[in-house]
Amino acid sequence: MSGWAGSGHGRYRKVVSYLMLGGTALCALLVVGVLFFILGSLVWKGGSDINLNFFTKLPTPVGVTGGGMANAIVGSMKLLLLASLIGVPFGVVGGIYMAEFGGKVSAFVLQYTADLLNGVPSIVIGIFAYSLIVLRMKHFSAIAGGFALGIMMIPVTLRSTEQFLRSVPVAMREAAMALGASKWKTIVSVVVPAAYRGILTAILLSLARVAGETAPLLFTAFNNRFWSPGWNQPIASLPVVVYTYGISAYEDWHRQAWAAGLVLLGMVLLTNIIARAILSRGISAPR
């Protein structure tokens, strides 16, 4: 890596540097461009259907205006709450084990298993939850749906937590130890806070992913045209509504499907903002 910036070779390297960095800017632009395009499509196609009714009323049959998706919105919230209750504790605490306590072999086995589980098609997870819960209980329920989504959250949370914990410099841990902290205290008060941003990112990312999943809910949460009291009944959710309406023949149902997609995105965005705002103290990664 020697060479003066002014010499021929140096200039060449500088040009390469500008080009490559420009290339990365292009990549970022492309990705953001696609995203805004998708958002724009959602707004364009579904925006007109977003009104107060959408958030407060139950669905109406095709052709009847004034209906909404209040039950699907609440349903998605309930399902995601359940999913987080399963996905976050097991994922984060398990990740702590892998990064802090586990040996090389257990880390390898667990990583491998997590990646395996991650690659299972969401519909197969749905089938699994169906056999385990729905068949036993003899009916569809929010619990089954939340369980299916929760299982999908675990691998991502697990792997990412492990990843970010490992990236905390050894020096920080040793400093804490030198001050007399036990291993557990070190983890809780030093390592996790240092990695919390990454862990939070992982949780929100996996939450976002399961928020949009349809297939695992088809045979667990089923769907519901009405309100779903409690946790033991079939429950509506935004992705399933998007799917059902999206593949129908009716224009107004199509618009509702796009609108539902938009609302779903809005919900995830809101969760992101709130989560980061509430938990935005603590050490962020050094730049």
Partner 1 sequence: MKKILTGLLVLGMVFVFAIAIAAQGQLTGAGATFPYPIYSKWFDVYSKMKNVQINYQSVGSGAGIRQVTAGTVDFGASDGPMTDEQIATFEKGRGTAIYHFPTVLGAVVPTYNIPGVNASLKFTQKAIADIYLGKITKWNDGEISKANPGVNLPGDDIVVVHRSDGSGTTYIFTDFLSKVSEEWKSKVGKNTSVNWPVGLGGKGNEGVSGLVQQTPDAIGYVELIYALQTKQPFGDVQNSSGAFVRASLETTTAAAAAAAKDMPADFRVSITNPSGKTAYPICSFTWLLIPGKIADAGKRETLKGFLRWMLAEGQKDTEALYYAPLPKQVVEQELKAISKIQ
Partner 2 sequence: MTTAATAEMGAGPKPASRSFFARLLQGDQVAHAITFVAAATILLITTMLVVVLWNNSALPRAKFGLSFFIGRVWDPVSGQFGALPFVYGTLVTTAVSLVLGVPLGLGAAIFLAELAPPKISDSLTFVIELLAAVPSVIYGLLGIFLVVPFVRTTLAPALKHTLGFLPLFQGPCYGVSFLAAGLVLAIMIVPFIVSVSREVLLAVPTDQREAALSLGSTRWESTWKVVVPFALPGVLGSVFLAMARALGETMAVTMVVGNVPDIKASLLAPGYSIAAVIANEFTEATGDLYLQALIELGLVLFLVTFILNGLARLLILVTSQRGGTT
Q: List the interface residues with partner 2, window 16-75 (CB under 8 A).
A: 16-18, 20-21, 23-28, 30-32, 34-35, 38-39, 41-42
Contact present, 79 and 148 (Cβ < 8 Å): no
Q: List the interface residues with partner 1, window 84-113 (CB under 8 A).
A: none
Contact present, 161 and 99 (Cβ < 8 Å): yes
Using rule CB under 8 A, residue 159 touches partner 2: yes
Using rule CB under 8 A, residue 222 touches partner 1: yes
116 binds, among partner 1, partner 2, none (CB under 5 to 8 A by kind): partner 2
What's the CA gap between 204 and 280, in Å, rounded?
14
In angstroms, the Cα distances linking 185 to 176, 189, 282 are 9, 6, 16
- In the complex, minimum distance from the CB of residue 235 to partner 2, in angstroms, rounded to a whole number: 17
DSSP assignment string, 212-280 = T--HHHHTTT---SS---SSSS----HHHHHHHHHTSS-HHHHHHHHHHHHHHHHHHHHHHHHHHHHT-
138 binds, among partner 1, partner 2, none (CB under 5 to 8 A by kind): partner 1
Q: Which of 76, 214, 223, 237 binds partner 1 (CB under 8 A)?
A: 223
Using rule CB under 8 A, residue 232 touches partner 2: no
Using rule CB under 8 A, residue 246 touches partner 2: yes
Using rule CB under 8 A, residue 94 touches partner 2: yes
C-alpha torsion angle, residues 7, 9, 11, 17 (rounded to 10): -150
Using rule CB under 8 A, residue 153 touches partner 1: no
Nearer to partner 2, 3 or 230 (CB): 3
